[in-house]
């Protein structure tokens, strides 16, 4: 069953890969229009989910994420409209090289194929992800949270009907509904090219551990701020405060603060006063405890993503020790240095092995919207393909198109071999 759906998606992906920008944008416009028209039906479906969730005593934060009213729908439609204005990520010529007269090589961006996307509770994600997949010419299998089953079903029906009506191939998008479907999906490495799980750390880790399909995402967000001896302490307080307190529940919030011993005596009391106002629980190593009164932090704290108003603090000997600590304990997500010494900043930025390395600004800037990526697919701590906040370009790869006039390799081999010209060209692929 799932295998059949995935096979259909793969067949469809061959067609979606060859769609023009205009065809894709028309389909996106049709989806936006249909969502606007079907507002009543969608909101009614969401009411069903909300009523069930209240019966099930879901916590208020989850209820808030589950809610999909007229305002949320409007936001989703605006997202589609802004997606239409973005350049087509497919068909861009990334490099062009003449191999010989009349033998031209083009590296051209192309869709990845079939995406498998699993997300929790928030129905907005369904709209966002399916339209990102469409814009990038991919087919997509989606599985949403079971608490949003009616909303997701209504949204998927509207999107599928509108897009297929606008010429997209049947089966390019499908909604899966059960946990068993997810496990079936994880085994379909022949059909699905990339999995993108969005949700809790444990959930993402489960996906990563149970499939051979490449996974784009991040399990943990253990982010650091290092206050260097050459820091402007005014900036240091602002950045350390914002990185922890501006929104502590998210992956780009700081979990461990590293402080250079040279300025720890001056800095720690100042930042402690600020954190106390915000009710942050502080845990420090023994050198921190020698300076300010805080609970003890242990090895486990360096490895913990609190996602809460809790912060571990470690006093380090200096830049080298800070880099070592981060490369040992960081989840390679986002780490920042506060310093007025550009040489220290350079060392930090080049030697901290993380997706996002910041100088004199808050870790909370690590985000596709703030980066100006136009649309965010997610945040990746992978070391290949895409790293950090991922925009539409994370949903494409490239293919090599070689255009000849009958050339064969025998002519370019052996003692009489014709030489290659290997001349870079500055023109887009004509096909």
Residues 286-345 that bind a second copy (CB under 8 A): 323, 327, 342, 345
Output the smallest distance, CB 260 to a second copy, in A.
17
57-65, 164-172, 301-309, 369-377 -> range binding a second copy (CB under 8 A): 369-377
Q: Is 400 in the site for a second copy (CB under 8 A)?
A: yes
Q: Is 140 in the site for a second copy (CB under 8 A)?
A: no
Output the smallest distance, CB 57 to a second copy, in A.
31
178-186, 221-229, 294-302, 404-412 -> range binding a second copy (CB under 8 A): 404-412
Q: Is 166 in the site for a second copy (CB under 8 A)?
A: no
Cβ atoms of residues 46 and 150 within 8 Å: yes
Please give the residues from 77 up to 116 whose contact with a second copy meets the rule CB under 8 A. 97, 99, 103, 105, 112-113
Total residues contacting a second copy (rule CB under 8 A)? 80
Secondary structure class of 149 (helix, strand, coil):
helix
Collect contacts of 353-358 with beta carbons under 8 A, ≥24 apart: 353/327, 354/326, 354/330, 355/379, 355/380, 355/381, 355/387, 355/388, 356/252, 356/388, 356/389, 358/334
CA 77 vs CA 29, 131, 172, 285: distances in Å: 9, 10, 20, 49
41-49, 66-74, 307-315, 399-407 -> range binding a second copy (CB under 8 A): 399-407
Instruction: Pick the closer one to a second copy by CB: 154 or 254.
Output: 254
Cβ atoms of residues 243 and 227 within 8 Å: no
Backbone angles phi, psi at 107, to 5 degrees: -100, 115
Cβ atoms of residues 268 and 313 within 8 Å: yes
58-66, 146-154, 242-250, 259-267 -> range binding a second copy (CB under 8 A): 242-250
Q: Is 198 in the site for a second copy (CB under 8 A)?
A: no
Burial class (CB in 10 A: 0-12, 13-18, 19+), 249: exposed
Contact pick of 120, 228, 242, 301 for a second copy (by CB under 8 A): 242
CA 414 vs CA 18, 405, 409, 419: distances in Å: 39, 21, 10, 11
- CA atoms of 141 and 123, how far apart (whole Å): 15
Please give the residues from 200 up to 229 whose contact with a second copy meets the rule CB under 8 A. 208-209, 212, 214, 216
Instruction: Pick the closer one to a second copy by CB: 152 or 380.
Output: 380
Please give the residues from 31 up to 70 whose contact with a second copy meets the rule CB under 8 A. none
Q: Is 195 in the site for a second copy (CB under 8 A)?
A: no
Contact pick of 145, 197, 284, 389 for a second copy (by CB under 8 A): 389
Q: Is 21 in the site for a second copy (CB under 8 A)?
A: no
| Strand bridging mode 93-100 / 103-111 | antiparallel
Instruction: Pick the closer one to a second copy by CB: 18 or 296.
Output: 18
165-173, 174-182, 286-294, 397-405 -> range binding a second copy (CB under 8 A): 397-405
100's enclosing H/E stretch is: strand 93-100
Pull the structure tokens for residue 200: 């809790």
Backbone angles phi, psi at 53, to 5 degrees: -65, -40
34-42, 80-88, 153-161, 405-413 -> range binding a second copy (CB under 8 A): 405-413
- CA atoms of 262 and 361, how far apart (whole Å): 21
């Amino acid at each position: 069953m799932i295998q059949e759906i995935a096979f259909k998606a793969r067949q469809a992906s061959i067609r979606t890969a060859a769609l023009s920008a205009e065809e894709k944008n028309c389909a996106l416009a049709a989806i936006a229009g249909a969502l606007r028209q079907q507002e009543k039906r969608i909101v009614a479906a969401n009411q069903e989910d909300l009523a069930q969730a209240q019966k099930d005593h879901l916590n208020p934060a989850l209820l808030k994420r589950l809610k999909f009213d007229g305002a949320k729908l409007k936001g989703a439609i605006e997202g589609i409209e802004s997606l239409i204005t973005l350049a087509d990520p497919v068909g861009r010529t990334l490099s062009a090289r003449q191999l010989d007269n009349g033998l031209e090589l083009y590296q051209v961006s192309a869709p990845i194929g079939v995406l498998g996307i699993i997300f929790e509770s928030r129905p907005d994600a369904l709209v966002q992800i399916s339209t990102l997949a469409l814009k990038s010419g991919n087919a997509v299998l989606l599985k949403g949270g079971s608490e949003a089953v009616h909303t997701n079903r209504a949204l998927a029906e509207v999107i599928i009907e509108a897009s297929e009506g606008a010429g997209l191939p049947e089966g390019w998008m499908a909604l899966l509904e059960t946990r068993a479907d997810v496990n079936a999906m994880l085994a379909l490495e022949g059909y699905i090219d990339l999995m993108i799980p969005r949700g809790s750390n444990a959930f993402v880790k489960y996906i990563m551990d149970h499939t051979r399909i490449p996974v784009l995402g991040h399990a943990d967000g253990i982010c650091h701020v290092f206050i260097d001896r050459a820091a402007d302490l005014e900036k240091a307080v602002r950045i350390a405060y914002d990185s922890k307190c501006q929104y502590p529940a998210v992956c780009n919030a700081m979990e461990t603060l590293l402080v250079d011993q040279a300025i720890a005596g001056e800095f720690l009391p100042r930042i402690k006063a600020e954190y106390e106002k915000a009710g942050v629980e502080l845990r420090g190593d023994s050198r921190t405890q020698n300076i300010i009164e805080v609970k003890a932090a242990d090895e486990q704290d360096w490895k913990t993503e609190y996602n809460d108003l809790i912060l571990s603090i470690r006093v380090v000997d200096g830049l080298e020790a800070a880099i070592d600590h981060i490369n040992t304990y960081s989840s390679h997500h986002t780490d920042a240095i506060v310093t007025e010494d550009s040489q220290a900043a350079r060392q930090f930025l080049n030697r901290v092995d993380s997706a996002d390395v910041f100088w004199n600004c808050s870790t909370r800037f690590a985000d596709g919207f703030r980066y100006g990526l136009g649309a965010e697919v997610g945040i990746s701590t992978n070391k290949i393909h895409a790293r950090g906040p991922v925009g539409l370009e994370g949903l494409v790869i490239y293919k090599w198109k070689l255009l000849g006039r009958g050339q064969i390799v025998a002519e370019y081999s052996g003692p009489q071999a014709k030489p290659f010209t290997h001349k870079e060209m500055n023109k887009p692929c004509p096909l």
